Structure 1
Amino acid sequence: MDTKAFYNLSYGVFVLGAKQDDKINACITNTCMQIASDPTRIAISVLNKNLTCDMVKASGEFTLSVLDKTCTFELIKHFGMQSGRDVNKFEDFPHETNDSGIPYLQYSVCSLLECKVISKQDLGSHTLFIAEVTDAKVLSNNAPLTYADYQNNLKPKTTVDSAKKIVGWKCKICGYVYEGSELPKDFVCPLCGHPADDFEPIYG
Protein backbone atom coordinates (compact mmCIF):
# COMPACT_ATOMS: atom_id res chain seq x y z
CA MET A 1 0.00 0.00 0.00
CA ASP A 2 1.31 3.45 -0.94
CA THR A 3 0.51 5.60 2.10
CA LYS A 4 1.32 8.74 0.08
CA ALA A 5 -2.08 8.28 -1.59
CA PHE A 6 -3.62 9.55 1.64
CA TYR A 7 -1.73 12.84 1.31
CA ASN A 8 -4.16 13.75 -1.49
CA LEU A 9 -7.12 13.72 0.88
CA SER A 10 -8.09 17.23 1.95
CA TYR A 11 -6.78 17.84 5.46
CA GLY A 12 -5.86 20.95 7.34
CA VAL A 13 -3.20 21.29 10.04
CA PHE A 14 -4.32 22.39 13.51
CA VAL A 15 -3.01 23.08 17.00
CA LEU A 16 -5.31 21.42 19.53
CA GLY A 17 -5.25 23.20 22.90
CA ALA A 18 -6.40 21.72 26.20
CA LYS A 19 -6.43 22.47 29.93
CA GLN A 20 -6.73 20.08 32.87
CA ASP A 21 -6.58 21.49 36.38
CA ASP A 22 -3.71 24.03 36.26
CA LYS A 23 -1.87 22.48 33.30
CA ILE A 24 -2.20 23.65 29.70
CA ASN A 25 -0.91 21.80 26.65
CA ALA A 26 -1.35 21.46 22.90
CA CYS A 27 -0.53 19.09 20.06
CA ILE A 28 -0.75 18.96 16.27
CA THR A 29 -3.62 17.19 14.56
CA ASN A 30 -4.51 17.05 10.87
CA THR A 31 -7.99 15.57 11.19
CA CYS A 32 -10.95 17.91 11.61
CA MET A 33 -14.19 18.27 9.70
CA GLN A 34 -17.53 20.00 10.19
CA ILE A 35 -20.25 17.39 10.45
CA ALA A 36 -23.37 19.43 11.37
CA SER A 37 -24.55 23.03 11.25
CA ASP A 38 -27.51 23.28 13.64
CA PRO A 39 -25.97 23.11 16.17
CA THR A 40 -22.51 23.45 14.65
CA ARG A 41 -20.49 20.33 15.35
CA ILE A 42 -17.09 19.09 14.28
CA ALA A 43 -15.21 15.79 14.49
CA ILE A 44 -11.50 15.59 15.35
CA SER A 45 -9.18 12.62 15.69
CA VAL A 46 -6.28 12.64 18.16
CA LEU A 47 -3.49 10.15 18.89
CA ASN A 48 -4.24 8.26 22.10
CA LYS A 49 -0.61 8.49 23.20
CA ASN A 50 -0.76 12.29 23.27
CA LEU A 51 -1.10 14.01 26.63
CA THR A 52 -3.49 16.48 24.99
CA CYS A 53 -5.83 13.60 24.15
CA ASP A 54 -5.95 12.58 27.83
CA MET A 55 -6.61 16.19 28.83
CA VAL A 56 -9.49 16.61 26.37
CA LYS A 57 -11.02 13.37 27.65
CA ALA A 58 -10.80 14.65 31.22
CA SER A 59 -11.99 18.23 30.66
CA GLY A 60 -14.42 17.80 27.77
CA GLU A 61 -13.27 21.07 26.18
CA PHE A 62 -10.66 22.22 23.67
CA THR A 63 -9.58 24.97 21.30
CA LEU A 64 -8.57 24.39 17.70
CA SER A 65 -6.18 26.88 16.10
CA VAL A 66 -6.39 26.55 12.30
CA LEU A 67 -2.85 27.06 11.02
CA ASP A 68 -2.32 29.23 7.95
CA LYS A 69 0.33 29.32 5.23
CA THR A 70 2.61 31.64 7.23
CA CYS A 71 3.23 28.71 9.59
CA THR A 72 6.81 27.43 9.88
CA PHE A 73 8.07 23.90 10.35
CA GLU A 74 9.54 25.00 13.69
CA LEU A 75 6.05 25.81 14.99
CA ILE A 76 4.75 22.39 13.95
CA LYS A 77 7.84 20.73 15.41
CA HIS A 78 7.33 22.59 18.71
CA PHE A 79 3.78 21.30 19.20
CA GLY A 80 3.95 18.05 17.25
CA MET A 81 7.35 16.49 17.89
CA GLN A 82 7.79 16.74 21.65
CA SER A 83 5.57 15.65 24.50
CA GLY A 84 3.87 17.85 27.05
CA ARG A 85 4.79 15.15 29.56
CA ASP A 86 8.43 16.19 29.15
CA VAL A 87 8.26 19.94 28.48
CA ASN A 88 5.98 22.92 29.06
CA LYS A 89 5.18 23.81 25.45
CA PHE A 90 3.74 27.21 26.40
CA GLU A 91 6.61 28.37 28.60
CA ASP A 92 7.89 31.57 26.95
CA PHE A 93 5.65 30.84 23.94
CA PRO A 94 3.21 33.64 22.96
CA HIS A 95 -0.40 32.56 23.33
CA GLU A 96 -3.81 33.57 24.58
CA THR A 97 -6.39 31.66 26.62
CA ASN A 98 -10.17 31.63 26.32
CA ASP A 99 -12.62 32.14 29.18
CA SER A 100 -12.01 28.54 30.30
CA GLY A 101 -8.25 29.07 30.40
CA ILE A 102 -7.61 26.88 27.34
CA PRO A 103 -4.66 28.08 25.23
CA TYR A 104 -4.61 29.03 21.57
CA LEU A 105 -2.03 30.59 19.27
CA GLN A 106 -1.67 34.28 18.49
CA TYR A 107 0.02 34.02 15.09
CA SER A 108 0.13 31.81 11.95
CA VAL A 109 -3.54 31.10 12.60
CA CYS A 110 -6.45 32.04 10.34
CA SER A 111 -9.34 30.79 12.51
CA LEU A 112 -10.06 29.72 16.07
CA LEU A 113 -12.73 27.28 17.24
CA GLU A 114 -13.77 26.76 20.87
CA CYS A 115 -15.50 23.45 21.48
CA LYS A 116 -17.22 21.19 24.02
CA VAL A 117 -17.05 17.42 23.60
CA ILE A 118 -20.39 15.71 22.97
CA SER A 119 -19.12 12.15 22.52
CA LYS A 120 -15.95 10.18 21.93
CA GLN A 121 -14.97 6.81 20.47
CA ASP A 122 -11.71 4.90 20.87
CA LEU A 123 -10.43 3.90 17.42
CA GLY A 124 -7.33 2.05 18.62
CA SER A 125 -4.46 4.40 17.75
CA HIS A 126 -6.70 7.49 17.95
CA THR A 127 -9.79 8.80 19.72
CA LEU A 128 -12.55 10.39 17.67
CA PHE A 129 -14.17 13.36 19.41
CA ILE A 130 -17.52 14.81 18.35
CA ALA A 131 -17.77 18.35 19.67
CA GLU A 132 -20.14 21.30 19.58
CA VAL A 133 -18.56 24.60 18.54
CA THR A 134 -19.35 27.18 21.23
CA ASP A 135 -17.48 30.06 19.56
CA ALA A 136 -15.58 30.70 16.34
CA LYS A 137 -13.38 33.59 15.23
CA VAL A 138 -11.54 34.57 12.04
CA LEU A 139 -8.08 35.73 13.10
CA SER A 140 -6.51 36.51 9.71
CA ASN A 141 -7.24 36.53 5.99
CA ASN A 142 -4.34 34.17 5.24
CA ALA A 143 -5.12 30.92 3.43
CA PRO A 144 -5.20 27.81 5.65
CA LEU A 145 -2.27 25.41 5.60
CA THR A 146 -3.28 22.05 4.14
CA TYR A 147 -1.68 18.72 5.00
CA ALA A 148 -0.53 18.48 1.37
CA ASP A 149 1.19 21.88 1.73
CA TYR A 150 2.92 20.60 4.84
CA GLN A 151 4.08 17.34 3.21
CA ASN A 152 5.20 18.91 -0.07
CA ASN A 153 6.54 22.32 0.92
CA LEU A 154 7.06 22.72 4.68
CA LYS A 155 8.32 19.40 5.99
CA PRO A 156 12.10 18.88 5.59
CA LYS A 157 13.08 15.99 3.36
CA THR A 158 14.93 13.08 4.97
CA THR A 159 18.49 12.79 3.64
CA VAL A 160 20.59 9.65 3.82
CA ASP A 161 24.38 9.74 4.16
CA SER A 162 25.54 7.03 1.77
CA ALA A 163 29.01 6.98 3.39
CA LYS A 164 27.61 5.65 6.66
CA LYS A 165 25.90 2.36 7.46
CA ILE A 166 22.22 2.53 8.41
CA VAL A 167 21.36 0.19 11.28
CA GLY A 168 17.79 1.31 11.92
CA TRP A 169 15.11 3.96 11.49
CA LYS A 170 13.57 6.17 14.18
CA CYS A 171 10.09 7.69 14.06
CA LYS A 172 10.44 11.47 14.41
CA ILE A 173 6.98 11.68 15.93
CA CYS A 174 7.02 9.13 18.76
CA GLY A 175 10.57 7.73 18.86
CA TYR A 176 9.74 4.14 17.80
CA VAL A 177 12.81 2.38 16.37
CA TYR A 178 12.67 0.01 13.41
CA GLU A 179 15.75 -2.22 13.31
CA GLY A 180 17.19 -2.87 9.88
CA SER A 181 18.97 -1.00 7.11
CA GLU A 182 15.96 -0.79 4.78
CA LEU A 183 12.63 0.67 5.87
CA PRO A 184 9.73 -0.57 3.68
CA LYS A 185 8.14 2.30 1.75
CA ASP A 186 4.69 1.27 2.96
CA PHE A 187 5.79 0.94 6.61
CA VAL A 188 3.49 2.53 9.20
CA CYS A 189 4.65 3.21 12.76
CA PRO A 190 2.94 0.69 15.06
CA LEU A 191 2.83 3.24 17.90
CA CYS A 192 1.65 6.47 16.32
CA GLY A 193 0.46 5.45 12.86
CA HIS A 194 2.77 7.80 10.92
CA PRO A 195 4.21 6.65 7.57
CA ALA A 196 7.78 5.89 6.49
CA ASP A 197 8.34 9.55 5.51
CA ASP A 198 8.33 10.43 9.22
CA PHE A 199 11.29 8.14 10.00
CA GLU A 200 14.95 9.21 10.04
CA PRO A 201 17.96 6.90 9.65
CA ILE A 202 20.04 5.68 12.58
CA TYR A 203 23.69 5.22 11.71
CA GLY A 204 25.94 2.62 13.30
Structure 2
Amino acid sequence: MTNEKEKINLSALFRIGYGLYVLTTNDGRKDNGCIVNSVMQVTSNPLRVAVCVNKQNYSCGTILETLKMNVNCLSVDATFDVFKRFGFQSGKTVDKFFGETPKRSENGLVVMSEFCNAFISLAVEQTIDLGTHNMFVCSVEEAAVFSDLDTLTYTEYQKNVKPKPVAPKKKSYVCKVCGYVFEGEELPPDFICPICKHDASAFELMK
Protein backbone atom coordinates (compact mmCIF):
# COMPACT_ATOMS: atom_id res chain seq x y z
CA MET A 1 0.00 0.00 0.00
CA THR A 2 1.40 3.42 -0.97
CA ASN A 3 2.39 5.64 1.92
CA GLU A 4 0.40 8.89 1.89
CA LYS A 5 3.58 10.96 2.18
CA GLU A 6 5.05 9.17 -0.86
CA LYS A 7 2.00 10.14 -2.91
CA ILE A 8 2.52 13.87 -2.31
CA ASN A 9 5.71 15.47 -3.58
CA LEU A 10 5.56 18.95 -2.07
CA SER A 11 7.93 20.21 -4.76
CA ALA A 12 5.04 19.87 -7.22
CA LEU A 13 3.27 22.73 -5.44
CA PHE A 14 6.15 25.05 -6.25
CA ARG A 15 5.29 24.55 -9.93
CA ILE A 16 2.01 26.44 -9.48
CA GLY A 17 2.42 29.89 -11.03
CA TYR A 18 2.08 32.93 -8.76
CA GLY A 19 2.38 36.66 -9.22
CA LEU A 20 3.70 38.89 -6.43
CA TYR A 21 1.76 41.84 -5.07
CA VAL A 22 1.91 44.52 -2.37
CA LEU A 23 -1.39 44.62 -0.50
CA THR A 24 -1.99 48.10 0.95
CA THR A 25 -4.33 48.78 3.87
CA ASN A 26 -4.92 51.37 6.59
CA ASP A 27 -5.88 50.57 10.20
CA GLY A 28 -7.10 54.09 10.95
CA ARG A 29 -3.73 55.19 12.32
CA LYS A 30 -1.24 54.46 9.54
CA ASP A 31 -0.85 52.99 6.10
CA ASN A 32 0.55 49.50 5.73
CA GLY A 33 1.63 47.10 3.02
CA CYS A 34 2.46 43.40 2.86
CA ILE A 35 3.60 40.96 0.17
CA VAL A 36 1.07 38.37 -1.03
CA ASN A 37 1.19 35.86 -3.88
CA SER A 38 -2.36 34.50 -3.94
CA VAL A 39 -4.50 36.88 -6.01
CA MET A 40 -6.84 35.77 -8.75
CA GLN A 41 -9.85 36.95 -10.69
CA VAL A 42 -12.59 34.43 -9.88
CA THR A 43 -15.55 35.82 -11.85
CA SER A 44 -16.05 38.37 -14.63
CA ASN A 45 -19.75 39.13 -14.22
CA PRO A 46 -19.96 40.33 -11.55
CA LEU A 47 -16.26 41.21 -11.45
CA ARG A 48 -14.71 39.57 -8.39
CA VAL A 49 -11.14 39.01 -7.21
CA ALA A 50 -10.05 36.63 -4.42
CA VAL A 51 -7.04 37.35 -2.19
CA CYS A 52 -5.53 34.97 0.39
CA VAL A 53 -3.72 36.52 3.36
CA ASN A 54 -1.84 34.78 6.16
CA LYS A 55 -3.53 35.39 9.51
CA GLN A 56 -0.14 36.22 11.04
CA ASN A 57 0.11 39.27 8.80
CA TYR A 58 -0.96 42.48 10.49
CA SER A 59 -2.79 43.42 7.28
CA CYS A 60 -5.14 40.46 7.68
CA GLY A 61 -6.67 41.85 10.86
CA THR A 62 -6.93 45.29 9.27
CA ILE A 63 -8.84 43.90 6.29
CA LEU A 64 -11.24 42.04 8.60
CA GLU A 65 -12.00 45.36 10.32
CA THR A 66 -12.08 47.73 7.32
CA LEU A 67 -13.25 45.37 4.54
CA LYS A 68 -11.09 47.10 1.93
CA MET A 69 -7.63 46.78 0.37
CA ASN A 70 -5.59 47.71 -2.70
CA VAL A 71 -3.66 45.15 -4.73
CA ASN A 72 -0.51 46.67 -6.27
CA CYS A 73 0.94 44.37 -8.95
CA LEU A 74 4.73 44.21 -8.71
CA SER A 75 6.52 44.44 -12.05
CA VAL A 76 9.69 42.67 -13.16
CA ASP A 77 11.85 45.72 -12.28
CA ALA A 78 11.04 45.38 -8.55
CA THR A 79 14.14 45.21 -6.35
CA PHE A 80 14.83 43.10 -3.28
CA ASP A 81 14.48 46.25 -1.15
CA VAL A 82 10.74 46.19 -1.92
CA PHE A 83 10.53 42.72 -0.39
CA LYS A 84 12.61 43.67 2.64
CA ARG A 85 10.34 46.66 3.25
CA PHE A 86 6.97 45.01 2.78
CA GLY A 87 7.66 41.33 3.36
CA PHE A 88 10.28 41.00 6.09
CA GLN A 89 8.94 43.33 8.79
CA SER A 90 5.55 43.71 10.47
CA GLY A 91 3.27 46.72 10.12
CA LYS A 92 2.34 46.15 13.75
CA THR A 93 5.69 47.60 14.85
CA VAL A 94 6.93 49.46 11.74
CA ASP A 95 5.42 52.34 9.76
CA LYS A 96 6.31 51.19 6.25
CA PHE A 97 5.27 54.52 4.68
CA PHE A 98 6.83 56.81 7.30
CA GLY A 99 7.71 60.22 5.93
CA GLU A 100 6.05 59.62 2.57
CA THR A 101 3.09 61.31 0.90
CA PRO A 102 1.84 58.48 -1.30
CA LYS A 103 -0.79 58.54 -4.02
CA ARG A 104 -4.23 57.32 -2.97
CA SER A 105 -7.23 55.75 -4.64
CA GLU A 106 -10.85 56.74 -4.05
CA ASN A 107 -11.06 54.35 -1.08
CA GLY A 108 -8.31 56.33 0.67
CA LEU A 109 -5.67 53.61 0.48
CA VAL A 110 -2.14 53.85 -0.88
CA VAL A 111 -1.54 53.31 -4.59
CA MET A 112 1.99 52.24 -5.51
CA SER A 113 3.15 53.13 -9.02
CA GLU A 114 6.91 52.62 -8.53
CA PHE A 115 7.91 49.01 -9.28
CA CYS A 116 4.23 48.26 -10.01
CA ASN A 117 2.46 47.91 -13.35
CA ALA A 118 -1.15 48.20 -12.10
CA PHE A 119 -3.35 48.50 -9.05
CA ILE A 120 -6.83 47.26 -8.13
CA SER A 121 -9.05 48.61 -5.34
CA LEU A 122 -11.13 45.91 -3.66
CA ALA A 123 -14.12 45.82 -1.31
CA VAL A 124 -14.57 42.61 0.67
CA GLU A 125 -17.87 40.81 0.07
CA GLN A 126 -17.09 37.46 1.71
CA THR A 127 -14.43 36.06 4.04
CA ILE A 128 -13.57 32.35 4.04
CA ASP A 129 -11.55 30.96 6.95
CA LEU A 130 -8.93 28.54 5.63
CA GLY A 131 -7.20 27.87 8.94
CA THR A 132 -3.80 29.55 8.57
CA HIS A 133 -5.14 32.04 6.00
CA ASN A 134 -8.26 34.02 5.25
CA MET A 135 -9.56 34.20 1.70
CA PHE A 136 -11.25 37.49 0.88
CA VAL A 137 -13.67 37.46 -2.06
CA CYS A 138 -13.97 41.04 -3.26
CA SER A 139 -15.69 43.33 -5.73
CA VAL A 140 -13.53 45.63 -7.84
CA GLU A 141 -14.09 49.35 -7.20
CA GLU A 142 -11.24 50.94 -9.16
CA ALA A 143 -8.27 49.84 -11.28
CA ALA A 144 -5.53 51.39 -13.40
CA VAL A 145 -2.50 50.31 -15.45
CA PHE A 146 0.85 52.11 -15.00
CA SER A 147 3.21 50.33 -17.41
CA ASP A 148 3.55 47.54 -19.97
CA LEU A 149 6.11 45.66 -17.88
CA ASP A 150 5.20 42.08 -16.98
CA THR A 151 4.06 41.19 -13.48
CA LEU A 152 6.83 39.70 -11.35
CA THR A 153 6.26 36.00 -10.69
CA TYR A 154 7.40 33.96 -7.72
CA THR A 155 9.71 32.02 -10.03
CA GLU A 156 11.31 35.24 -11.33
CA TYR A 157 11.75 36.41 -7.74
CA GLN A 158 13.55 33.19 -6.85
CA LYS A 159 15.83 33.34 -9.89
CA ASN A 160 16.55 37.03 -10.34
CA VAL A 161 15.56 39.10 -7.29
CA LYS A 162 16.28 37.14 -4.12
CA PRO A 163 20.00 37.26 -3.21
CA LYS A 164 21.83 33.99 -3.69
CA PRO A 165 22.86 32.55 -0.30
CA VAL A 166 26.54 32.12 0.43
CA ALA A 167 27.14 28.61 1.72
CA PRO A 168 28.81 28.70 5.18
CA LYS A 169 31.29 26.08 6.33
CA LYS A 170 28.97 24.52 8.89
CA LYS A 171 25.81 22.58 8.01
CA SER A 172 22.98 24.96 7.19
CA TYR A 173 19.49 25.06 5.73
CA VAL A 174 18.15 27.83 3.49
CA CYS A 175 14.55 28.96 3.14
CA LYS A 176 13.50 28.59 -0.49
CA VAL A 177 11.01 31.45 -0.08
CA CYS A 178 13.03 34.31 1.42
CA GLY A 179 16.64 33.09 1.61
CA TYR A 180 16.93 32.99 5.41
CA VAL A 181 19.72 30.62 6.51
CA PHE A 182 19.40 28.38 9.58
CA GLU A 183 22.75 27.14 10.89
CA GLY A 184 22.76 23.81 12.69
CA GLU A 185 23.18 20.11 12.17
CA GLU A 186 19.46 19.41 12.06
CA LEU A 187 16.53 21.66 11.24
CA PRO A 188 13.82 21.22 13.92
CA PRO A 189 10.67 19.73 12.35
CA ASP A 190 8.54 22.47 13.94
CA PHE A 191 10.85 25.29 12.85
CA ILE A 192 9.15 28.45 11.52
CA CYS A 193 11.14 30.88 9.39
CA PRO A 194 11.50 34.12 11.39
CA ILE A 195 11.42 36.17 8.20
CA CYS A 196 8.62 34.83 5.97
CA LYS A 197 6.84 32.55 8.52
CA HIS A 198 6.95 29.41 6.34
CA ASP A 199 7.44 26.07 8.08
CA ALA A 200 10.31 23.57 7.86
CA SER A 201 9.06 22.17 4.53
CA ALA A 202 10.22 25.39 2.83
CA PHE A 203 13.87 24.74 3.79
CA GLU A 204 16.54 22.77 1.94
CA LEU A 205 20.05 21.72 2.89
CA MET A 206 22.72 24.08 1.57
CA LYS A 207 25.41 22.35 -0.48
**TM-score normalised by the shorter chain: which range applies?**
0.7 to 0.9
Matches of 1:110 and 1:96, distance apart in 2 = 15
Match of 2:49 in 1: 42
Matched, 1:63 2:67: no
Percent of aligned pairs with the same residue? 30
Q: 1:112 to 1:27 in 2, by over 3 A?
A: same
Query: Pick from 166, 177, 198: which aligns with 1:193?
Result: 198
Letter matched to residue 129 of structure 1: F
Residue 6 of structure 1 aligns to a residue in which SS?
Answer: helix
- Superposed CA RMSD in Å reads 3.2
Q: Is the 8 A contact 1:170 1:200 kept in 2?
A: no
Q: Is the 8 A contact 1:187 1:196 kept in 2?
A: no
Offset of 1:104 from its aligned partner?
A: 2.3
* Alignment size in residue pairs: 196
Q: State how far apart, in whole Å, the 2-side matches of 1:170 and 1:7 are.
A: 13
- 1:181 equivalent in alignment to 2:167: no
User: How far apart are residue 97 of structure 1 and its match?
Assistant: 1.6
Taking a change above 3 Å as real, the CA distance of residues 10 and 93 of structure 1, as seen in their structure-2 partners, is: farther
Retained in 1: the 8 A contact 2:177–2:202?
no
Aligned match of 1:114 = 121
**1-side partners of 2:154 and 2:136: how far apart?**
20
Query: Residue 198 and residue 62 in structure 1: after superposition, are their counterparts in 2 closer, same or farther (change >3 A)?
Result: farther
**CA displacement at 1:41 relative to structure 2:** 0.4
Q: Which runs of 5+ in 2 are unaligned?
A: 1-7
Alpha-carbon offset, residue 100 of structure 1? 2.5
| 1:27 alignment partner, one of 34, 43, 53 | 34
Q: TM-score, normalised by structure 1?
A: 0.82
1:86 to 93, 97, 106: 93
Unaligned runs of 5+ in 1: none
Cα 1:179–1:155 change in 2 (3 A) is closer
1:30-52 alpha-carbon deviations (Å, 9 max, x no partner): 00110001121011100101111
Higher mean C-alpha displacement, 1-10 vs 147-156: 1-10
Partner of 2:83: 76
Structure 1: distance between partners of 2:121 and 2:158: 27
* Secondary structure in 2 matching 1:100: coil
Which has a greater percent of strand? 1
Shift of 1:158: 2.7
Q: Is the 8 A contact 1:26 1:84 kept in 2?
A: yes
Q: Which runs of 4+ in 1 moved over 6 A?
A: 168-173, 198-201
Structure 1 pair 13/194, CA: closer, same or farther in 2 (3 Å)?
farther
Q: SS at the partner of 1:54?
A: helix
Q: Closer, same or farther in 2 for the Cα pair 1:46/1:120, shift >3 Å?
A: same
Q: Distance in 2 between matches of 1:42 and 1:14?
A: 13
